[in-house]
Amino acid sequence: MDSSSSTYRMRLPLVRVTVLAVLLWTAGCATTPSTAPTPSTRHSVVLISIDGLAASALARGNTPNLDRLAAEGVHAAWMNPSYPVLTFPNHFTLVTGLRPDRHGIIHNSMRDDAVGGFKVADKAAGADARWWQGEPIWNTAEKAGLRTAIWAWPGNAAPIDGRRPTRWVPYSPEISSLERADQVAGWLTEPAATRPHLAALYFERVDNVGHDKGPDAPETLAAIREVDAAVGRIMQALDARGLRTSTDLVVVSDHGMAPVAPDQYIALEDMAAFEQAEAVSTGQVIGFNPRPGHEAAAGHRLLGRHDHYQCWRKQDLPARWHYGRHPRVPAIVCQFDEGWNALPAEQLQRVPKDRLNRGSHGYDNTLPSMRAVFVAAGPSFRRGATLPAFDNVDVYPLLATLLGLAPARNDGTADTFAPVLAPRADMPH
Ligand code: AMP
Ligand code: ZN
Ligand code: ZN
């Protein structure tokens, strides 16, 4: 499905959407606690993700637009990613405020007895609502009658709880960073009657190049400058129409990136024999399901500390990871040390060493290299304020606050942002 047609399809039945919105708004009012703030009609919130942008990449001369945004608003020392430090689990945490163990996207690659297999590249799985548990912010907003427009955020293609964003664009890697920025800027500068109250935008370029070349390679720095310029395009478009004063921009990343030396790869088959256990994933967080009758042997082989990785039964994982209760988490989870990866032996033999990834994430979420970015500016934020590090589960309740909505149940808190929020003229306070 091409992006423009999906956007169009969502726009055509405007009358029906409006009637539905009124009905949903009424329904929303009936279930919303009476203390819930009233959504503003003219204010917009924009959530932008720069996949794989490390907190340490800011203020180094490659991000002039993000640095200006930080000076005009708020930035955190860094934001802690949730475990496991992978793209889909963290993107869905950012928009639900739930830890991966609670929203069900427990890995980029997973298996569910009832639903089947999930892989990031599998479009059908991405569009299957059974994988996506919890309430993404676009549903919280749509339920209250607000318009949302979501550009390729993981989960936006699935009718979660029977709902979709008013407009959504599927993941479209062929569309350049600047073109995406122009599309989203186009939405945000429409007349107030159609302009989205919430827009979200996803950039994968920094992650892609960071994996390929390593976090500090000149190519990665160029990718960072490219995506920074795309964010700058949105700022300019809003500035040109005087809309910065009614638009909150929130820029985040899902995780950072660690360098990987070419010889820091281990064959999956050297961890556990194929006959003993099935590896559900590759990379840095490897889930194994022992094969029936081989449970004891697989446990004996895998559990405990090894050179470059450590394995636990899912119920024994360190508590600080908040991980291991969801049925989709495999029985044994192995966490690799920073800079190390596991791949199938066949892949290690076939791919020349100099073509293997030179950057990876998926390591312990307390490592400095995994720290994510948080920068925000707009009418809701104080100017030039800073925040200490916080967990990324707090972003969903923040977005709900910015939209004037009562958040669904989540693992975070908007209190984190109390010191940096400014009173807004259009909101009761
Ligand atoms: P990873 O680095 O394995 O955590 O996965 C991140 C990569 O997944 C990104 O760099 C994108 O190339 C890709 N990606 C992101 N969103 C999607 C999507 N919705 N569908 C397919 N691939 C995606
Ligand atoms: Zn990512
Ligand atoms: Zn990645």
Rounded to the nearest 10°, the torsion over CA 45, 47, 48, 54 is: 130
Our answer to whether residue 87 is catalytic in this structure is yes
3-state secondary structure of 256: coil
Tokens of 346: 């066949």
- Give me the architecture of the 265-356 domain, per CATH: 2-Layer Sandwich (3.30)
- Residue extents of the structural domains in the chain: 21-27+42-259+366-420, 265-356
Atom of ligand 1 at shortest range from CA of 283: 3
Q: At what angle do helices 177-188 and 218-240 cross, to 10 degrees?
A: 20
Q: What is the pLDDT of residue 426?
A: 84
Q: Is the CB of 54 under 6 A from ligand 1?
A: no
Which of 3, 204, 282 to mutate for ligand 1's pocket (most ligand atoms within 8 Å of CB)?
Answer: 204
Q: What is d(CA 386, CA 364) in angstroms, rounded to the nearest whole number? A: 25
pLDDT per residue as tens digits for the range 331-355: 999 999 999 999 999 999 999 998 9
Ligand 2 is an ion; its neighbours by CB within 5 Å are 51, 87, 207, 254
- pLDDT at position 27, please? 30
Query: Is the Cβ atom of 254 under 6 angstroms away from ligand 1?
Result: no
pLDDT of residue 38: 58
Q: In the prediction, which pLDDT does 39 show?
A: 61
Q: Counting beta carbons within 10 angstroms of the beta carbon of residue 250, is it exposed (0 to 12), middle (13 to 18) or buried (19 or more)?
A: buried
How does pLDDT run across 370-425, given as a tens digit for each residue? 999 999 999 999 999 999 999 999 999 999 999 999 999 999 999 999 999 999 98
Q: Whose CA is nearest to atom 8 of ligand 1?
A: 120
- Cβ of residue 362 lying under 6 Å from some atom of ligand 1: no
User: At 342, is the secondary structure helix, strand, or coil?
Assistant: strand
Record the pTM.
0.91
Task: Split the chain (429 residues) into runs of 10 and give each run's mean pLDDT.
Answer: 32 31 30 47 93 98 98 98 98 99 98 97 97 98 98 98 98 98 98 97 98 98 98 98 97 98 95 96 97 97 98 98 98 98 96 94 98 98 98 99 98 98 81
Q: Is the CB of 86 under 6 A from ligand 1?
A: yes
The secondary structure of 114-129, three-state, reads: CCEEEECCCHHHHCCH
Q: What is the pLDDT of residue 42?
A: 84
Tell me the pLDDT tens digit for each residue of 85-129: 999 999 999 999 999 999 999 999 999 999 999 999 999 999 999
Q: What is the C-alpha to C-alpha distance for residues 192 and 183, in angstroms, rounded to an integer? A: 16
Distance 309 CA to ligand 3 centre (A): 19
* Class of domain 21-27+42-259+366-420 (CATH, top level): alpha beta
Query: Is the bond preceding residue 379 a cis peptide, omega within 30 degrees?
Result: no
Q: Give the separation between CA 424 and CA 42, rounded to whole angstroms.
A: 12
Radius of gyration of the chain, Cα coordinates, nearest whole angstrom? 22
Given the residues 87, 93, 148, 416, select the one marked as catalytic.
Answer: 87
Return the number of other C-beta atoms located less than 10 Å from residue 152's C-beta.
21
Residue nearest to ligand 1 atom 9, measured at CA: 204
Q: Ligand 1: which atom is nearest the Cα of residue 157?
A: 19
> Distances in Å between the alpha carbon of 179 and those of 48, 49, 409?
14, 15, 35
Q: Is the dihedral of CA 401, 403, 407, 410 positive or negative?
A: negative
Whether 204 lines ligand 1, by a CB cut-off of 6 Å, is: yes
Written as one letter, the residue type at 278 is E
Residue nearest (by alpha carbon) to ligand 1 atom 18: 171
Alpha carbon distances (Å) from 168 to 153, 197, 422: 9, 14, 30
State how far the Cα of 155 lies from the Cα of 136, in Å rounded to an integer.
8
- Counting ligands in written order, the one closest to the CA of 283 is 1
Q: Is the CB of 126 under 6 A from ligand 1?
A: yes
Short-list 46, 47, 42, CA closest to 194? 42
Q: What's the gap in Å between 254 CA and the centre of ligand 2?
A: 5
Nearest ligand to the C-alpha of residue 223? 1
State the pLDDT at residue 95: 99
Closest to 356 (Cα-Cα) out of 374, 368, 344, 365? 344
